[in-house]
Amino acid sequence: MRANYLDKADPEAYKALVALSKQVQSSALAAGLPPILIELVKLRASQLNGCAYCLRMHTRIALELGETTDRLSVLDDFRN
Task: List the single range of 5-9, 29-33, 45-49, 73-77 with lowest mean pLDDT.
Answer: 5-9
CA distances from 23 to 4, 26, 28, 48 (A): 26, 5, 9, 21
Cα-flanking dihedrals φ and ψ of residue 72, to 5°? Answer: -65, -35
- The answer to the question of residue 35 being in a domain is yes
Tally of structural domains, the chain: 1
Q: Would you say residue 3 lies in a domain?
A: no
* pTM of the predicted protein model: 0.81
Residue type, 2: R
Mean per-residue pLDDT, 3-17: 83
Q: What is the pLDDT of residues 42-72, one digit of tens each?
A: 999 999 988 888 899 999 999 999 999 999 9
Q: pLDDT (tens digit, 9 = 90+) per residue, 23-48?
A: 999 999 999 999 999 999 999 999 99
Residue 25 belongs to domain spanning: 9-77
